[in-house]
Amino acid sequence: MTDLPRTPSFRLDSKRALVTGASSGIGLACAAALAQAGADVTLVARGADRLEAARAAITEAGGRAEAQPLDISDTAALQGFIAGHGPFDVLVNAAGLARHGPALQTTVADFDAVTSVNIRAAYFAAQAVAQGLVAAEKPGSIIQISSQMGHVGGIDRAVYCATKHAVEGMTKAMALEWGPHGIRVNTVCPTFILTPLTQATFDNPDRRAWIERNIALGRVGGVGDVMGAVLYLASEASALVTGTALRVDGGGTAA
């Protein structure tokens, strides 16, 4: 009888995961996906009330989660927390900030606010998690929630595109450096995803029609579309995947 190969497990039992931006939208969905796969999940976000509500929802659904209110743009606080509570087997950095507008009108304040979250916090969160894994001699998976805008340009999105292109670059470099330690580093690049924060965009019929025309599958994304991608990259199912971008964009960047 032929021995058939077995599909690697998507389960995360006994794994510890850290999710930033976890109080709503994509971050909350990612945290839920990891918890549903058996991980112990630590939720990080600024708003304590919404964060606690997210933690309660996950635990009531049978998952294991704890909450830590934290502003990830405070690099010292972020790294101190990770160092004191790690090592984490999985990081999903879903926190992000956008202040869209014409490049001719970009202010220094807006530039600094967006880059401090989308680049600096993303960089040092990954570094701190990797430091903990290396010290513990453990493998791990670091996942940055990037964007299709990390691969293309967009009107009124010069700063946002710059930050996401930076995330793509640092992910490749980190993957090369940390691969010998068994640490994988990847990005997930969603298209426009319907969340409470993006609802106003989708409420504009012209804007929604433009978005749908530019997605090959002809529909906007939901948080569930991102959940499967994150679970894949967090699990052993993607054991040979590192330094790459998983585009959950409905074909939006294929052209």
Place of tokens 């930033």: 20
Distance CA 119, CA 60 (A): 34
H-helix or E-strand spanning residue 85: helix 75-85
Residues near 8 by Cβ (< 8 Å), separated by ≥ 6? 235, 236, 237, 239
Tell me the two tokens of residue 222: 């939901």
* Alpha-carbon dihedral sign for residues 211, 217, 223, 228: negative
CA-nearest of 254, 188, 244 to 33 is: 188
Question: 160 an active-site residue?
Answer: yes
81, 88, 123, 160: the catalytic one is 160
Residues with a known catalytic role: 160
